[in-house]
Amino acid sequence: MINFSAPDLTQHPPRSLRVRLGGYAHLPRLLDKARAVLAGKGSDYHYNCPLDKLFFAFTGIDSEAMLAEIKTGKTDLEMLAWVGERAKRLPHEVIAWSAWVEQVGPGGKDGHEWIASVLGERNSDRDDIRSFADLLDHDDYLSYGGKA
């Protein structure tokens, strides 16, 4: 069974970017990565990566302040309350941002070529990977034993 209060990302991936907490897409994944990194079990996952930075920009939360709060051992719901006190975002803004972040992709030609190169490195011939969420879900699956 996976322990989300102390995830071991050497054994399993973080939750999908698509999993929501309080309406926020990516927040559960961000919490998993932070907790694992703090425990020295982050594997190749990084806290404050470019997608994490999208969350911090949207909420106005400082990444180091959030990491310090996660260090205190707060649960997902306690962290959601902490985020809610600081983000000051209306529910419809959170819904719209979460829908957007689930669909955001690389944009232009260079970004699409980068995704294609990542898929090529993984020997995957998938042609339906369009967003970063798609790519992360596919990479997580392949990284832990799934077949291309």
Task: Tell me how many domains the chain contains.
Answer: 2
If asked whether residues 87 and 20 sit together in one domain, one would say: yes
**pLDDT: which is higher, 65 or 117:** 65
Using alpha carbons, select from 141, 139, 129, 29 the residue that is nearest to residue 79.
29
pLDDT tens, residue by residue, 121-139: 888 888 888 899 999 999 9
What pLDDT, on the 0 to 100 scale, is given for residue 29?
A: 97
- 52 and 9 in a single domain? The answer is yes
Residues 56 and 116 grouped into a single domain: no
109 and 95 in one domain? Answer: no
What does 68-119 look like in DSSP terms, one character per residue?
Answer: HHHHTT--HHHHHHHHHHHH---HHHHHHHHHHHHH----SHHHHHHHHHHH
Same domain, 96 and 114: no
Position 84 in a domain: yes
Distance CA 92, CA 89 (A): 8
Both 100 and 37 in a single domain?
A: yes
What percentage of the chain exceeds 90 in pLDDT?
Answer: 69
The parent domain of residue 6 ranges over 1-104
